[in-house]
Structure 1
Amino acid sequence: MSQTHSKSRQKAEIAFANAQSQFFARNSAVEELDSLVQAREEKTRRLREVRLAKELKDREAAAASLLAKRAMTA
């Protein structure tokens, strides 16, 4: 069962399909950018956690070293 439409309807259908394609392409691009931003934020969070843990470990090591030196001189 084939439907025949007027030329103006066919043009409107084509224009709508093109507009829809652009809309979906834009949404896809936005989703991709959102995904990249989320991945970057997650990586930044992980790196921050690692850095803070290392800084804490370094501070604890420095404090332990100072305590050891004080104990040796006392």
Structure 2
Amino acid sequence: MSDAHSKSRKQAEIAFGATQSQFFARGRAVDELNSIAQARDEKTIRLREARLAKELDDSMKPAVIPTKRAKKS
């Protein structure tokens, strides 16, 4: 009788271990996705700040108006 109990306990422990492994694997995947999203958001912020700084710099420069030159004949 103890042999059957031991066998069923082993099967239950194996099933529990598999379930637990899937749970932790899913948690790692979620952490990885969160990390990727955070890195993307940080990059977006850096690029936006760089673009706004460039636009501000460009708006502070005087506009250059090309002039027509007379042709030399």
TM-score range, shorter chain: 0.7 to 0.9
Q: Which protein is bigger by CA-based radius of gyration?
A: 2
Structure-2-length-normalised TM-score: 0.76
Structure with higher helix content: 1
Question: For residue 15 of structure 1, what is the aligned residue in structure 2?
Answer: 15
**% identity of equivalent residues:** 64
Question: For residue 55 of structure 1, what is the aligned residue in structure 2?
Answer: 55
Q: Which runs of 4+ in 1 moved over 6 A?
A: none
Structure-1-length-normalised TM-score: 0.75
Alignment coverage as a number of residue pairs: 61
Unaligned 5+ runs, structure 1: 70-74
Unaligned 5+ runs, structure 2: 66-73
Query: What is the Cα-based RMSD across aligned positions, in Å?
Result: 1.9
Report SS of the residue matched to 1:6.
Answer: helix
Cα deviation code 1:19-45 (max 9, x no counterpart)? 000001111111111000000000000
1:32 matched to 2:32? The reply is yes
